[in-house]
């Protein structure tokens, strides 16, 4: 195995690092000896050792880490390391000097103004419009509002009225706008590589169908993603009515089969549990990453969870979260008590808890070493009967879901009425959520026809191999050739079908195996509809004409029906006019339709919750799985590129993954103990053998991961993703089988090679100064102002300054970030990228610490190496009043505004980087190269016209979204009033599902931000520097079970062995 060193980059100046000899340490990894995990462990255990740490390297104090720590940019970020000689450098520089001199004298290039011919009524040039629509992922819709500048969708915001969004969005919705403009999307209909017109597709499909007319469609198969669109489902049912022997298969690469099978075993039907976490005092997550990656309710659950983490009103509001999991997820990071065990042991754990909380028929002993945890959890659950939620993860077998349902029933409110399950049909008359007095209610699944997808796909492959399939129509982004379980050998089977039609956004792996490829319309380009988690339907409306002539799923399915040429708008509208909510009266329906489009949802279309009885013997019916001995491999969705469909999305690829902070790659995540046993360090290649299949993948040590278990995210290793996605990472699907799609036994061997994994966990390090502050609930009750007492450095009664005190007049902007609410989901970082035209720099540049994200989320571990606590700290510009950056700028490119903003003036900046060198928070970013893509026309359409697009050699940083401040200020002044509290919402604040970020006028004592800043939990980071930041933090309060061991954070001053005060700057 030769290590891959390829990296994909938007810029032309990708400085490719020459491939090292196999086995040699590659340049990105530095030259230090491997980390001694034993020593790290010992150092963490010793009194006075680091309490909060960002990585093993930080604890071990490797030379690379010290380089990150002592300098704003590490040594290899600033230097010209390209293989360009001094002479050619001088030649280029003198040429550019000459050109710079000449160009400075020219007048600006001629610009054209192109007005409308007939201006749309509501369009005001220069003012964005917002349209409500919905994005579907995994078959579940999230309601969004899309910002449109003169017809160009530029930014996605959440729809506050939508039950799944509640005003927030996840990172996929933020990234989806870049996919819309992706120049690598397929742009033409092709048949075996030749460009063909749309009517040729229709002719081919009709030809294929007429060959099936004798057998009533026996040879026709339709393969879609999980479909929650009532219209599309009805269309497919119509096709199936015409071709009764045809079959429809839904395939999502990481399907929720276990949840479905579990519900069927418990209730006799497919139901979806819907939790109201605002009512839950105790939450037990059985491998359920409900705050980040599982299901479309993550935003809703995050909001509800965070509402129970606010202690300002009452300290008793705090809930308690137990997480039992193998991987270390975002949800695990927020746990009050977390138990890392192998995925296969979780069933035994669940059984033991169920037995103790009184689930009939459940017996079982806790896995070795977890008895105390089981006891504590069970006692806590019973003590809070009626106010508990037990959640099972998608990866867990059906038995665990059954146990979770049984525990919820056993621990539910005793008065809960048992009503028969309804059919779940749309019925606007019935008021929703009448039965919702318990924490958990059940609703029909959002997908129109729930199914167990692995079985369906296996049946399809069997049918093809049996010669029973002549025509296969694949619609959507599920990309089965890439994502199907390896044991099914889907690609091989697919080639036996005589007519293969594929429609998708990209000419992907599945398209290469198809005869016909039809470019699909993006959700921002097409009419459709979709259901969300509670059944609410949203009409999906397009924001722009298809950029590349894409066809929506409705239009492609229509070709199979008796009316082959229909546009999506007619299909969706006709369907809804025939529904009970619609109307056959055109005028009445037009009014209703417009209201639906305006609201972004059909009011009253939510399912009526049902409270079905759990079958009495359900918990005992499922067979207890035997926990596997030895090492176990887990397959999970990737936290940023999902199941691989976002592989070509630069924003999502470059977004550091919430826990590992890796970018542009996947890796085998493992516990330090596992790495120690196998003598592995970060980036060492390992060969993973699972069910006879092998995959070579780099290792990455993730503190808190379960021992003897590795987790490999899927979605990487694409071969036909596009310029960015192709060739990044390792294809985990080649390892994953259909019998154990989530975890199974594995054998790991070290290959001896290594690989450059690029993570940002040590970038911009500020270590050992009590920047993260936390207390347990008991400590908080005893000492509410604990955070202020944890102040680092010299305590002065009154801060003195050489500069005159800032006069607080008018609006003074500030921000408060609640570390008790933040789940580290990274949505804010990508929202900032989308709002502020932040460029993608590519893997090699990230490796040099040149990433451009204005906002980062520092992830810190606290406590011991094996079961650490996790803290997430969003870090935007602190907007200091005595800003150290301002006084050192020789050209006054960074100066203070009268509203307290630390303005960055790009047109003045000459790139000395003195400011970043002087920034204690390391929040300034420098354009070392021309990172922004100035040429691709599609990307020009995406950019926010209210934010300058920066060029090379310019410093930039968080502006508190000054464009939004200005827009609100101008609006207020025009209306001759003050700016209202909450009128300005920064991009990071708008997207935050937990409302952790609050921005506003700190000079107004009634503003939300001022109130938060007066909280006893409020603290200023590095207060002893007396720079008086406008961004402050609310310390975390954790609520661990006092009966279980937990990592206590001791207040006081901590220093690493070496002094921080040594000069280490670049200048």
- Are 167 and 160 a contacting pair, CB within 8 Å? yes
- How many residues touch another protein (CB under 8 A)? 40
Task: Closer to another protein by CB, 126 or 244: give it.
Answer: 126
Binding residue (CB under 8 A) for another protein from 108, 210, 314, 584: 108
The rounded distance, in Å, linking the Cα atoms of 695 and 666 is: 12
SS3 per-residue string spanning 987-1014: HHHHHCCCCCEEEEECCCCCCHHHHHHC
What are 43's two structure tokens? 């150092």
Residue 119 interacts with another protein (CB under 8 A): yes or no? yes
Q: Helices marked H in 213-297 — which ranges?
A: 230-242, 257-267
Q: Helices marked H in 628-721 — which ranges?
A: 650-654, 672-677
Task: Closer to another protein by CB, 117 or 800: give it.
Answer: 117
- Are 926 and 73 a contacting pair, CB within 8 Å? yes
Q: How far is CA 444 from CA 164, 202, 260, 576, in A?
A: 15, 35, 11, 20
Task: Closer to another protein by CB, 647 or 954: give it.
Answer: 954
The full DSSP string for 385-412 is: TTSEEEEE-TTS-HHHHHHHHHHHHHTS
Residue 798 interacts with another protein (CB under 8 A): yes or no? no
Binding residue (CB under 8 A) for another protein from 416, 603, 941, 949: 949
The rounded distance, in Å, linking the Cα atoms of 910 and 543 is: 39
Query: Of 69-77, 88-96, 116-124, 370-378, which segment contacts another protein by CB under 8 A?
Result: 116-124
Task: Closer to another protein by CB, 588 or 910: give it.
Answer: 910
Q: How far is CA 5 from CA 26, 779, 929, in A?
A: 9, 49, 20
Residue 909 interacts with another protein (CB under 8 A): yes or no? no
Provide, rounded to whole angstroms, the least separation between the CB of residue 452 and another protein. Answer: 52
Show the binding pattern over residues 648-687: x = contacts another protein (CB under 8 A), - = does not. Answer: ----------------------------------------
The rounded distance, in Å, linking the Cα atoms of 810 and 823 is: 34
Provide, rounded to whole angstroms, the least separation between the CB of residue 547 and another protein. Answer: 19
The rounded distance, in Å, linking the Cα atoms of 320 and 339 is: 14
The rounded distance, in Å, linking the Cα atoms of 517 and 697 is: 32
What are 604's two structure tokens? 């009253």
Provide, rounded to whole angstroms, the least separation between the CB of residue 968 and another protein. Answer: 12
Provide, rounded to whole angstroms, the least separation between the CB of residue 717 and another protein. Answer: 40
Q: How far is CA 1006 from CA 1003, 1018, 1035, in A?
A: 9, 16, 21
Provide, rounded to whole angstroms, the least separation between the CB of residue 813 and another protein. Answer: 11
Place of tokens 């006075």: 48
Task: Closer to another protein by CB, 622 or 989: give it.
Answer: 989
Provide, rounded to whole angstroms, the least separation between the CB of residue 1027 and another protein. Answer: 19
Binding residue (CB under 8 A) for another protein from 86, 87, 118, 798: 118
Residue 810 interacts with another protein (CB under 8 A): yes or no? yes
Residue 129 interacts with another protein (CB under 8 A): yes or no? no
Residue 103 interacts with another protein (CB under 8 A): yes or no? no
SS3 per-residue string spanning 699-714: EEECCCCCCCEEEEEC
Residue 113 interacts with another protein (CB under 8 A): yes or no? yes
Residue 100 interacts with another protein (CB under 8 A): yes or no? no
Residue 115 interacts with another protein (CB under 8 A): yes or no? yes
Residue 122 interacts with another protein (CB under 8 A): yes or no? no
Residue 116 interacts with another protein (CB under 8 A): yes or no? yes
Provide, rounded to whole angstroms, the least separation between the CB of residue 889 and another protein. Answer: 12
Residue 110 interacts with another protein (CB under 8 A): yes or no? yes
Provide, rounded to whole angstroms, the least separation between the CB of residue 907 and another protein. Answer: 5
Residue 905 interacts with another protein (CB under 8 A): yes or no? yes
The angle that helices 586-599 and 568-577 make with each other, rounded to 10 degrees, is: 110
- Are 873 and 858 a contacting pair, CB within 8 Å? yes
Binding residue (CB under 8 A) for another protein from 215, 948, 1003, 1026: 948
Task: Closer to another protein by CB, 210 or 907: give it.
Answer: 907
Task: Closer to another protein by CB, 49 or 978: give it.
Answer: 978
Binding residue (CB under 8 A) for another protein from 45, 90, 99, 124: 124
Place of tokens 């017996």: 363
Residue 102 interacts with another protein (CB under 8 A): yes or no? no
Query: Of 101-109, 818-826, 874-882, 979-987, which segment contacts another protein by CB under 8 A?
Result: 101-109
Provide, rounded to whole angstroms, the least separation between the CB of residue 404 and another protein. Answer: 49
Query: Of 174-182, 344-352, 779-787, 891-899, which segment contacts another protein by CB under 8 A?
Result: 891-899
Task: Closer to another protein by CB, 211 or 967: give it.
Answer: 967
Place of tokens 């919820």: 408
| Short-list 631, 651, 633, 630, CA closest to 642 | 651
Residue 899 interacts with another protein (CB under 8 A): yes or no? yes
Task: Closer to another protein by CB, 368 or 970: give it.
Answer: 970
Q: How far is CA 899 from CA 96, 959, 1000, 1005, in A?
A: 39, 12, 11, 16
Q: How far is CA 433 from CA 168, 297, 611, in A?
A: 22, 16, 11
Q: What is the dihedral of CA 552, 556, 561, 566, to 10 degrees?
A: 50
Provide, rounded to whole angstroms, the least separation between the CB of residue 894 and another protein. Answer: 9
The rounded distance, in Å, linking the Cα atoms of 342 and 632 is: 7
Provide, rounded to whole angstroms, the least separation between the CB of residue 898 and another protein. Answer: 4
Binding residue (CB under 8 A) for another protein from 38, 91, 127, 216: 127
The rounded distance, in Å, linking the Cα atoms of 262 and 399 is: 6
Residues 334-373 that bind another protein (CB under 8 A): none
Place of tokens 């999906």: 540
Residues 960-999 that bind another protein (CB under 8 A): 962-963, 965-966, 970, 973-974, 976
SS3 per-residue string spanning 318-350: CCEEEEEECCCCHHHHCCCEEEECCHHHHHHHH
Provide, rounded to whole angstroms, the least separation between the CB of residue 1067 and another protein. Answer: 24
Provide, rounded to whole angstroms, the least separation between the CB of residue 971 and another protein. Answer: 9
Residues that bind another protein (CB under 8 A): 105, 107-108, 110-119, 124-127, 810, 895, 897-899, 901, 903, 905-907, 946-949, 959, 962-963, 965-966, 970, 973-974, 976
């Amino acid at each position: 195995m030769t290590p891959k060193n390829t990296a994909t980059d938007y810029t032309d100046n990708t400085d490719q690092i020459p491939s090292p000899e196999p086995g040699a340490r590659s340049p990105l990894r530095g030259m230090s000896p491997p980390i001694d995990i034993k020593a790290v462990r010992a150092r963490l255990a010793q009194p006075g050792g680091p309490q909060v740490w960002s990585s093993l390297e930080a604890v071990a104090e490797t030379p690379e880490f010290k380089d990150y720590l002592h300098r704003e940019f590490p040594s290899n970020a600033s230097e010209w390391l390209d293989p360009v000689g001094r002479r050619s450098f001088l030649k280029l520089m003198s040429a550019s000097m000459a050109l710079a001199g000449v160009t400075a004298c020219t007048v600006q290039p001629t610009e054209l103004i192109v007005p409308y011919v007939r201006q749309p009524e509501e369009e005001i040039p220069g003012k964005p419009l917002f349209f409500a629509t919905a994005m579907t992922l995994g078959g579940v819709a999230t309601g969004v509002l899309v910002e449109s500048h003169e017809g160009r969708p530029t930014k996605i915001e959440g729809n506050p009225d939508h039950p799944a969004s509640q005003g927030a969005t996840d990172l996929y919705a933020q990234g989806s706008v870049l996919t819309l403009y992706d120049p690598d999307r397929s742009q033409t209909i092709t048949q075996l590589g030749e460009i063909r017109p749309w009517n040729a597709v229709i002719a081919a499909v009709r030809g294929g169908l007429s060959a099936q007319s004798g057998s009533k469609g026996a040879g026709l198969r339709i393969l879609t993603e999980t479909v929650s669109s009532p219209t599309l489902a009805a269309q497919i049912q119509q096709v199936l009515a015409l071709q009764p022997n045809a079959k429809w298969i839904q395939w999502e690469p990481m399907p929720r089969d276990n949840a479905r099978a579990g519900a069927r075993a418990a209730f006799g039907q497919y139901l979806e549990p819907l939790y109201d976490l605002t009512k839950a005092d105790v939450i037990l997550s059985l491998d359920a990453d409900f705050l980040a990656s599982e299901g479309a309710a993550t935003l809703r659950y995050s909001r509800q969870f965070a509402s129970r983490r606010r202690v300002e009103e009452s300290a008793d509001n705090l809930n308690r979260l137990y997480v039992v999991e193998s991987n270390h997820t975002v949800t695990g990071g927020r746990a009050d008590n977390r138990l890392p065990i192998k995925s296969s042991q979780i069933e035994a754990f669940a059984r033991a808890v169920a037995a103790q909380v009184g689930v009939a028929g459940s017996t079982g002993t806790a896995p070795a070493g977890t008895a105390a945890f089981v006891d504590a959890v069970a006692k806590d659950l019973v003590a809070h009967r009626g106010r508990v939620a037990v959640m099972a993860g998608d990866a867990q077998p059906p038995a665990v879901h059954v146990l979770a349902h049984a525990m919820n029933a056993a621990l539910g409110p005793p008065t809960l009425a048992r009503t028969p399950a309804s059919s779940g049909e749309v019925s606007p008359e019935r008021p929703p959520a009448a039965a919702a007095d318990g924490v958990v209610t059940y609703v029909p699944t959002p997908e129109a026809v729930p199914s167990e997808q692995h079985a369906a796909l296996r049946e399809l492959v069997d049918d093809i191999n049996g010669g029973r399939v002549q025509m296969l129509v694949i619609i959507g982004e599920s990309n089965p050739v890439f994502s199907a379980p390896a044991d099914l050998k889907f690609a091989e089977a697919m080639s036996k079908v005589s007519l293969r039609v594929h429609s998708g956004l990209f000419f992907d792996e599945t398209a290469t195996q198809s005869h016909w490829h039809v470019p699909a319309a993006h959700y921002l380009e097409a009419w459709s509809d979709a259901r969300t988690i509670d059944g609410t339907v949203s009409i999906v409306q397009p924001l722009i004409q298809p950029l590349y002539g894409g066809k929506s799923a409705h239009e492609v399915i229509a070709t199979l029906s008796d009316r082959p040429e229909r546009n999506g708008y007619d299909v969706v509208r006709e369907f809804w006019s025939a529904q009970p909510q619609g109307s056959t009266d055109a005028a009445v329906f037009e009014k209703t339709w417009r209201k639906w489009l305006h609201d972004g949802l059909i009011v009253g279309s939510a399912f009526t919750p049902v409270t079905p009885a759990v079958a009495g013997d359900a918990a005992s019916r499922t067979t207890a799985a035997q926990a596997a001995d030895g090492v176990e491999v887990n397959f999970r969705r990737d936290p940023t590129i999902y199941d691989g469909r976002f592989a070509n999305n630069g924003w999502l690829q470059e977004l550091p993954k919430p826990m590992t902070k890796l970018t542009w790659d996947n890796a085998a995540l493992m516990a330090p103990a596992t790495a120690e046993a196998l003598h592995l360090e970060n980036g060492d290649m390992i060969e993973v053998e699972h069910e006879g299949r092998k995959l070579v993948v780099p290792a990455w040590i993730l503190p808190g991961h379960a021992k003897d278990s590795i987790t490999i995210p899927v979605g990487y290793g694409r071969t036909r993703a596009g310029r960015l996605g192709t060739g990044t990472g390792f294809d985990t699907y080649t390892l994953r089988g259909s019998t154990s799609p989530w975890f199974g036994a594995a054998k790991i061997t070290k290959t001896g090679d290594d690989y450059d994994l690029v993570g940002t966990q040590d970038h911009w390090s500020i270590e050992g100064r009590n920047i993260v502050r936390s207390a347990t609930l008991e400590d908080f009750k005893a000492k509410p102002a604990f955070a202020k007492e944890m102040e680092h450095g010299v305590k002065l009664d009154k801060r003195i300054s050489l500069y005159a005190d800032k006069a607080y007049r008018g609006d003074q902007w500030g921000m408060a970030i609640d570390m008790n609410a933040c789940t580290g989901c990274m949505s804010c970082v990508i929202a900032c990228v989308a709002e502020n035209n932040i460029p993608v720099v590519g893997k090699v540049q990230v490796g040099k610490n040149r990433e451009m994200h204005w906002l980062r989320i520092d992830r810190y571990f606290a406590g011991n190496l094996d079961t650490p606590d996790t803290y997430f700290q969003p870090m935007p510009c602190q907007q200091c009043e005595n800003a150290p950056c301002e006084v050192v700028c020789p050209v006054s490119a960074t100066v203070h505004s009268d509203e307290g903003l630390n303005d960055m003036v790009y047109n003045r900046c000459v790139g000395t980087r003195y400011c970043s060198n002087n920034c204690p928070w390391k929040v300034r970013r420098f354009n070392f190269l021309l990172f922004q893509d100035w040429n691709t026309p599609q990307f020009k359409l995406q950019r926010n016209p209210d934010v300058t697009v920066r060029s090379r050699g310019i410093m930039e940083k968080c502006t508190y979204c000054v464009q939004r401040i200005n827009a609100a200020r101008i609006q207020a002044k025009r209306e001759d009033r003050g700016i209202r509290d909450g009128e300005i919402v920064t991009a990071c604040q708008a997207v935050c599902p937990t409302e952790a970020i609050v921005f506003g006028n700190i000079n107004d004592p009634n503003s939300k931000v001022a109130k938060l800043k007066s909280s006893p939990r409020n603290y200023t980071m590095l207060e002893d520097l007396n720079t008086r930041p406008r961004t402050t933090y609310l310390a975390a309060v954790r609520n661990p079970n006092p009966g279980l061991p937990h990592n206590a954070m001791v207040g006081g001053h901590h220093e690493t062995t070496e002094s921080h005060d040594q000069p280490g700057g670049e200048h």
